Structure 1
């Protein structure tokens, strides 16, 4: 299944941002950001996230900081949110769970994924709203408790390199991405039409929460809430995009997240 998210620009400092960038407010509001989230079985169940950004002018495209994907940048990296960053917050369904003392608990933990178009990434674990509060946040570990969770940059044959994940799913739902003869990862930009696209996936077998009894293993193949977000850095101006926003913008506010229709 696939769910499409239309992201909205946070407007709290819209006029000031437009003035600093030398554009009109309407030009900033014309930036289009969409994210598709797709559950796709490979050797394990994968959550694919495909981000598309459309800018209204070459002027904005010239100022956008969109780093080029590089193989050597594919590694766990903190503080990616300080520049252009693709993000996604994931939480389990809000169902009560009885612990060993029969006390009813509700899951409050969640996972944050950061990904730069450069290939750098990070996956963090929180047991409640912004907790622990240390910076950088605690990395989410794989079920073995030793290795950090990573993300996958899907790669395709040359003939398919410009096709989106939706097109691949539509043309062949059984395509085995992992065994494709590779040309380059699924991340692209084209300044001729001011469009940018980037896609990655995460293995759901890795998303096992251990911070609280209520959250233990609740995210394993069982996504309740999804909140894809985008941070776009234009020189010294940063714009925030999400399906819905708190005021001031705060991606961690669970009440603004969307139910994921698995």
Structure 2
């Protein structure tokens, strides 16, 4: 911030904070919060005001770091971006009110107001950027967690494991399926792996290619894969596309695939 606006800010900081605190109190009253959280929200307002004003005095990376940390902690509480943007609008109104009450003595009021506005806009852009980055990181972590859950390898009998696949398969998920398959086969000492595509809505050339690659990788580590859950419409699509699935066994249902797996492992099915 330029020296003229900064001098004005420092000189009337208490009055500006008073105006701004009034704006934040009005904002807080619009949000439904429990009485037990009132003090916590008030403390948040005070910390936010303090960090914002620090950046005016030292608009350097180290002063912005505190504001960045505050933003990340704030996001973890589940509160929205509205607080940041509307709070900065409240600061803008506080400046406007103070400039109306006490115009600068040795400077053009429009120049001071323009500098203060520019500083607030920079803070707003910084906060929005960090808020978005933090959410993107959170979403990426959640996406990876969901991907891991969406490609489980389940041991069912000695030497037999099942991988049920649900939903569409893209390149990223196919890579995870491959990794889970290989790690699971070795960890569980599997002889047969049943890849169940009952829950896969579309099997096109790319999906079939990924499944063939995964089956071939399983074969290379000493196990056999059986593709199960091939519905009539999927079988017709595979034939129409000219996809070759003759290199490994296929079954229409998981039950039939399990019977085949038990036979391959020299285990008998016991009727209950």
More helix by share: 2
More strand by share: 1
TM-score range, shorter chain: under 0.3
Question: Normalising to structure 1: TM-score of the pair?
Answer: 0.22
Question: Normalising to structure 2: TM-score of the pair?
Answer: 0.22
Instruction: Compare CA radii of gyration and give the structure with the larger one.
Output: 2
Q: Which has the higher contact order (CA 8 A, sep 6+)?
A: 1
